[in-house]
Amino acid sequence: MKWSEFLLPTLKEVPAEAEAASHILMLRAGLIRKLTAGVYSYLPCGLRVLRKIERIVREEMDRQGALEVLLPAIQPLDLWMKSGRFAALGEDMITFIDRHKKQNVLGPTHEEVITALVKQEIGSYRQMPVILYQIQTKFRDEARPRFGVMRSREFIMKDAYSFDVSWECLDRSYAKMYDAYCRIFQRCGLRFLAVEADTGVMGGDASHEFMVVAPNGEDRIVSCAACGYAASLEKAACLRREQAPAAQAAPVERPWEILPTPGKRAVEEVAAFLGITAADLIKTIMYSADGKPAAVIVRGDHEVNEAKLRRCLGARQLTLADEKMIVQATGAPVGFSGPVGLSAAVPIIADYALAAGGPWVTGANQADAHLRNVSLPRDVAITQWADVRYITPADCCPRCGKEIRLEQAIEVGHVFKLGTKYTESLQANFLDDAGRSAPMIMGCYGIGVTRIIAACLEQNHDAQGIIWPAEIAPFQALIMPLNPEDPASRATADSCYRQLQRQGIEILLDDRNVRAGVKFKDADLSGIPVQVIIGEKNLAQGNVEIKTRCSGERLLAPVSAAAARVQELLGME
């Protein structure tokens, strides 16, 4: 491909709308252009990268025996009502009413559609296991589209779905997809971690997220270098009560007493007022669990993890209690709730971390007052001890007790063991080998194909621009005659171009009539792995210069050996 005949508009300036490195680079290197919030066009260079990633995904899916399908983006809303997921996805869903006054959804994901299809086409254990996948555009009206294609409203996902006759068979399908995902992300040049994940609105049992560690990531992950434990912040377990160091609270002789704390509600305010730290306080948070009040108590410097709390309470709906419920349950205004003397009708969930430490300062269930010398369990009728908080960097690994690390990360893939969540609600049954009917056991597996590009660029760039991993680079080599007006330079560029093309290498020839400085800058910006620089001075000695983008190393090669050296550098001998 010749640059002069290609559409590769590079930008010198950093576009004002872009903050993340990947977003800036995708705009500057002419890969994408914005149409409207969270909606992007791919220019030819961006599309080349996208197609390469899709090819890797297809190869790895096919290697595991998955079958490619293509499902419709337009889906009847009825189907989502039947699965009960319309409410769960809420405002992310893009819906429209058609001319027959029927309501439709632009598919944000395809569990419902695939289950309806498989229900029609598969009825016997003999037809399973089966894994179906597609690479297709998804639509989600994200609350905050961000960072270009990282979180967009229209994006390409590879989604796969497995159907099995038993949980053991699902384990095998899951392992195959897990394996495929590792290979895909490796081939895309990502440094990633598979972490244990929460199942969230998808439902189901086990789940892993594939996370790319990057400062711009919107997710947080916890990992332990010593034992390899890795989990999303949502999921990460904190040490259980009996494992916690000094699990026994210090005995407190003195009874609790009331302290005036006029107008001090927030943990920090109370701590500062009393001259103590947040860790000396117990925070009492009132929730509404399926409409009934529940209190959770955690250390003042800890945060409640609502996913853990929901599971612990077995609640379908969990929200912070409103003012009315708080006043009714505690008899005090918001900000002064405490666990001592709470009505027996309000269950109290205590976080394991409160088993150590104390005596505590807590809310007094009366305005402008707190209690001190509160001791657990002496003074509080605890309904249940549980792990209901987020892990912090000060915690230790829940598996081996060593140090943990908390990092920002980008989720590029997610695999779930769904079990019968959808096959039961949509009645996708099969006949087993004894002729009995049972719901199929399902798994689902998603990769953000377009997000991979953003994640890859977050990890693979420097101040000059992109550094593409070889397998997904839009071109493998760039030939740069610095002065295309010079006939010898032009002839050498042309012969190199033809030679490399014959060798099956994808080449971009920068034949533009622009200053050498512009070519150098654009070459580094575009991130093509190998640059063949044809300058008049070197050429007079019969040489060209070859630069490797990732290491910055340069070497001189005789013109006749240039193509072979490029091939070597690309590791394609």
- Judge whether 216 and 375 are in contact, CB under 8 Å: no
Q: Which of 469, 456, 474 is nearest to 48 (CA)?
A: 474
CA–CA distance, 122 with 439 (Å, rounded to integer): 11
413 near ligand ATP, rule: CB under 6 A: yes
Total chain residues near ligand ATP (CB under 6 A): 15
Q: Which residues contact 443 (CB under 8 A, 6 or more apart)?
A: 161, 162, 164, 170, 173, 174, 177, 415, 416, 417, 418
Question: Measured from the CB of residue 69, what is the shortest distance to ligand ATP in angstroms?
Answer: 17
For ligand ATP, the closer CB: 85 or 151: 151
Virtual CA dihedral for 112, 114, 115, 116, nearest 10 degrees?
80
Instruction: Quote the tokens at residue 519.
Output: 């070519």
Window 97-116: residues binding ligand ATP (CB under 6 A): 109
CA–CA distance, 559 with 573 (Å, rounded to integer): 18
Question: Measured from the CB of residue 70, what is the shortest distance to ligand ATP in angstroms?
Answer: 17
Q: Which residues pair with 413 in a beta bridge?
A: 210, 447
Q: Which residue from 412, 509, 546, 566 is in contact with ligand ATP, where contact means CB under 6 A?
A: 412
For ligand ATP, the closer CB: 184 or 313: 184
Q: Which residue from 48, 119, 151, 302 is in contact with ligand ATP, where contact means CB under 6 A?
A: 151
Q: Which of 11, 37, 16 is nearest to 26 (CA)?
A: 11
Instruction: Quote the tokens at residue 182.
Output: 């590792």
For ligand ATP, the closer CB: 139 or 256: 139
For ligand ATP, the closer CB: 187 or 264: 187
Which stretches within 384-509 are classed as H helix? 421-425, 449-459, 487-502
Segment contacting ligand ATP by CB under 6 A, of 247-255, 315-323, 412-420, 557-565: 412-420
443 near ligand ATP, rule: CB under 6 A: no
Question: Measured from the CB of residue 393, what is the shortest distance to ligand ATP in angstroms?
Answer: 22
H or E stretch at 323: helix 323-330
Question: Measured from the CB of residue 306, what is the shortest distance to ligand ATP in angstroms?
Answer: 15
CA–CA distance, 254 with 477 (Å, rounded to integer): 77
Question: Measured from the CB of residue 363, what is the shortest distance to ligand ATP in angstroms?
Answer: 34
Q: Which residue from 75, 152, 223, 543 is in contact with ligand ATP, where contact means CB under 6 A?
A: 152
CA–CA distance, 83 with 108 (Å, rounded to integer): 14
For ligand ATP, the closer CB: 140 or 461: 140
Query: Do the strands 405-419 and 219-223 form a parallel or antiparallel pair, or are they unpaired?
Result: antiparallel
Segment contacting ligand ATP by CB under 6 A, of 358-366, 435-443, 446-454, 510-518: 446-454
155 near ligand ATP, rule: CB under 6 A: yes
For ligand ATP, the closer CB: 151 or 283: 151
Question: Measured from the CB of residue 345, what is the shortest distance to ligand ATP in angstroms?
Answer: 37
For ligand ATP, the closer CB: 184 or 321: 184
Q: Which residue from 85, 110, 414, 421 is in contact with ligand ATP, where contact means CB under 6 A?
A: 414
With the C-alpha atoms ordered 454, 460, 466, 469, is the resulting torsion angle positive or negative? Answer: negative
Q: Binding pattern to ligand ATP, positions 447-486, x when CB under 6 A?
A: -x-xx-----------------------------------
Query: Do the strands 318-320 and 292-299 form a parallel or antiparallel pair, or are they unpaired?
Result: unpaired
Binding residues (CB under 6 A) for ligand ATP: these are: 109, 140, 142, 151-152, 155, 157, 411-414, 446, 448, 450-451
